[in-house]
């Protein structure tokens, strides 16, 4: 899978969502499941799902809602921590989680405002997956308990979340992005985008990017007859330097 294909998958899912809840199956394709979690991690999408959690001693059904929650290849999910917060008696126990394959997703207010802009701009589409995959957000999930405790289905040695195929799919995305850095981007990682496009992309993670911008300001250098602006701290956050071309420039 190429970076372009990943971008299109993300954008197709984003375009298909609305501000009302809709069902989304994580069984059909692990890459689609990764895409919906990436959109959730960027704060564009809110997720609602149900599942079962258990320790060595007991089990319980729950519902959780989240926006700004990231799933990565190391921790896989923040859900065990959130369930321990909801069940104080489990505070010192390892927690296993099994999620139902059908989840519900809807655009956040922020996601709805970004949907048309990102989907319509080819520059934004080109950068979309690269941005999301390099901005992990360790968010918080709201857990609601649905049922009383029952017998545990088995021993729990360590925190675990049943997400078959999702971790490998995320590694595939990471590999595609790493490959694109050497094969698809211009020399020295320089990529030109319009300033209005870059502004929208930085808005995807305002708490990080805007604070950096306010602290560091814009750096200016000359490129021929054109002023080119670069947000200094984006260099460390993005895998390649992003040069912001003045709107209307060539």
129-166: pLDDT as tens digits? 666 655 555 556 788 989 877 777 878 888 888 766 66
- Percent of the chain exceeding pLDDT 90 equals 9
Q: Which of 141, 139, 143 is nearest to 68 (CA)?
A: 139
Residue 224 has pLDDT above 70, yes or no: no
Q: What is the mean pLDDT of the chain?
A: 67
Average pLDDT over residues 167-188: 60
Torsion over CA: 40, 49, 28, 73 (sign): positive
Which of 139 and 97 is assigned the larger pLDDT?
97
Confidence of residue 227 (pLDDT cuts 50, 70, 90): very low
194 shares its domain with 135: no
Report for 28-32, 55-59, 137-141, 184-188: range of highest mean pLDDT:
55-59
φ/ψ of 77, rounded to 5, equals -165, 150
241 neighbors 228 (Cβ within 8 angstroms): no
Report for 10-24, 26-40, 77-91, 120-134: range of highest mean pLDDT:
10-24
pTM of the predicted protein model = 0.66
Alpha carbon 225 to chain centroid, angstroms: 38
* Alpha-carbon span 160 to 180, nearest angstrom: 32
49 shares its domain with 115: yes
73 shares its domain with 173: yes
203 shares its domain with 148: no
Which of 223 and 38 is assigned the larger pLDDT?
38
Tell me, yes or no, whether 250 lies in a domain.
no
β-bridge mates for residue 145, sequence order: 62
β-bridge mates for residue 45, sequence order: 107
Confidence of residue 218 (pLDDT cuts 50, 70, 90): very low
Torsion of CA 71, 72, 77, 82, to 10 degrees: -90
SS3 36: helix
Residue 14: domain span: 3-179
The pLDDT of residue 32:
83
Count of domains observed in the chain: 2
User: Considering 129, 150, 179, which residue would you say is the last residue of a domain?
Assistant: 179
Cα→Cα distances 168→3, 33, 72, 76, 248, Å: 16, 11, 10, 11, 42
Across the beta sheet with 226-231, what order do the strands follow?
Answer: 191-194, 242-245, 226-231, 218-223
224 shares its domain with 162: no
Provide Rg for the chain, Cα atoms. Answer: 20
β-bridge mates for residue 106, sequence order: 46
């Amino acid at each position: 899978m190429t970076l372009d294909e990943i971008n299109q998958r993300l954008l197709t899912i984003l375009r298909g969502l609305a501000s009302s809840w809709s069902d989304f199956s994580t069984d059909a394709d692990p890459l689609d499941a990764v895409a919906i979690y990436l959109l959730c991690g960027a704060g564009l999408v809110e997720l609602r799902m149900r599942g079962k959690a258990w320790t060595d001693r007991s089990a319980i059904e729950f519902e959780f809602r989240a926006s700004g929650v990231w799933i990565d290849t190391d921790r896989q999910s923040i859900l065990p921590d959130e369930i321990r917060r909801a069940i104080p008696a489990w505070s010192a126990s390892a927690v296993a989680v099994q999620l139902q394959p059908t989840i519900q997703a809807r655009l956040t207010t922020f996601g709805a405002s970004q949907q048309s802009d990102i989907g319509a701009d080819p520059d934004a589409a080109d950068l979309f997956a690269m941005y999301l995959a390099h901005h992990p957000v360790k968010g918080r999930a709201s857990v609601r308990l649905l049922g009383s405790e029952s017998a545990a289905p088995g021993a729990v040695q360590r925190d675990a979340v049943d997400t078959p195929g999702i971790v490998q799919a995320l590694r595939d995305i990471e590999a595609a992005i790493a490959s694109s850095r050497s094969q698809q981007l211009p020399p020295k990682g320089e990529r030109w985008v319009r300033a209005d496009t870059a502004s929208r992309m930085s808005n995807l993670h305002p708490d990080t990017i805007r604070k950096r911008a306010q602290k560091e300001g814009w750096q200016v250098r000359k490129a021929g007859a054109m002023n080119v602006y670069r947000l200094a701290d984006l260099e460390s956050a993005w895998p390649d330097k992003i040069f912001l071309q003045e709107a209307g420039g060539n």
